[in-house]
Structure 1
């Protein structure tokens, strides 16, 4: 019986198709290509951020908070393109690590503004350099003009 199942599995892929990539049927889908590119970029970034015990979403949140001190949780969720409840555990983690703080707003006691701590500011300076280098390394197959064109096209898709 083992012979026939092994024979069946070896005949499942004709020899002529052996050189065709397994995902060739998806080659013309932009979404698939974007996802594959994102995986490559994120795997590179995740490995480099691991030294700081930081995830890409946490890095993104810190960068957005730095650029918009005092922003509200709902605004951070919108900027990260995530649901507002998903921001809470992310911010909890950043606060536990003393990288960010939530400060109650005086006019509306129910609202909190989000700020980087001094520790968060210091770490973010270093991590921004790591992220920029990771981005360049992961896209090394592109020249400067191609990289700029890719960024322009991607922005055109997600900002539409």
Structure 2
């Protein structure tokens, strides 16, 4: 029976050239890398990326309706209701009947939510600064954001 030689390390390397040039593939890989970093950094706060985004938008737009925040983030209504309910249970967010539309809920951060978000923003800023440095600085970040805007 003939023996088959083991491939050398160079021959054993997986060929990835075909996927490396696909924009969508590279965007997804970058997103996964950033989200893994986010999860590691925010694990102590028990905060997911979508929850952080919701808290930031509520803080920057107090009293806006749930539907407005959900639409701005591209989150489906049913998923958003569950997400807000979780933030509400943690004492970070409160739903108040809207002054303009009693059928809708206006969202506000609680005092605890404001304090929590202040800490989370500081943690996020440190993480973001590290990512920007890896990109090559603020100019590179701005260029990347401009390129990404072309895709949306």
Q: TM-score range by the shorter chain?
A: 0.7 to 0.9
- Matched residue SS, 2:117: helix
Q: Distance in 2 between matches of 1:107 and 1:78?
A: 19
In structure 1, what is the equivalent of residue 23 of structure 2?
30
Runs (5+) with no aligned partner, structure 1: 1-6
In the alignment, does 2:124 pair up with 1:131? yes
2:72 pairs with 1:79: yes
Deviations 1:98-153 (A, max 9, x none): 00000012443211100111111111111112112212323433212212211221
Q: Is the 8 A contact 2:65 2:98 kept in 1?
A: no
Rounded to whole Å, the distance in 2 between the matches of 1:156 and 1:115 is 32
Does 1:116 pair with 2:109? yes
Cα RMSD of the aligned pairs, angstroms, is 2.3
**2:132 equivalent to 1:147:** no
Task: Identify the residue that residue 93 of structure 1 maps to in structure 2.
Answer: 86
What is the correspondence of 1:34-49 to structure 2 with a 5 Å cutoff? 34-49=27-42
Matches for 1:44-83 after TM superposition, within 5 Å: 44-83=37-76
User: Is there any run of 5+ residues in structure 2 with no aligned partner, and where?
Assistant: none
Relative contact order, CA 8 A, sep 6+: which one is greater? 1
**Residue 18 of structure 1, CA deviation:** 2.6
